[in-house]
Structure 1
Amino acid sequence: MPPKIVHEVVTTIADRNGVHPDQLEPPLAAVVDPDALTTVLRDTSGYVTFEYNGYIVTVGDDGTVTVEE
């Protein structure tokens, strides 16, 4: 996952929880392998959805990130 997308996911969820991104537990990498996600999105079209910190996160092959409760 490009660092920009990782940053967007983490900062969006941290903002919603009212904490600094470094305070999120567990860290995003403990839930989703950023390298594997990058490979999947690079090699196929579509999107990947996963749960992180109580939110549903969807990352599209075009780099869009959606975070829903």
Structure 2
Amino acid sequence: MINWITVESSSIRKVGYNETNNELYVDLGQRQPYCVFSDVSKYAFYHFASAESVEEHFNSHIKPVYNQV
């Protein structure tokens, strides 16, 4: 089950996490399905979701570090 959190960002609508698979879901609000990143810890997810700038954190700490599925 994916637990979604709505975030304040101009480019990211919401983020989700699946504890069973350690997968991070990022809804960019585009027509395509959300982006999925594998092997993300629960701590990393909550740190991302609560970041002062979610978009900046995504671009500097998620995209370059985790594998997109």
TM score, norm. by length of structure 1: 0.29
Answer 1 or 2: which has greater helix percent: 1
TM score, norm. by length of structure 2: 0.29
Structure possessing the higher radius of gyration over alpha carbons? 1
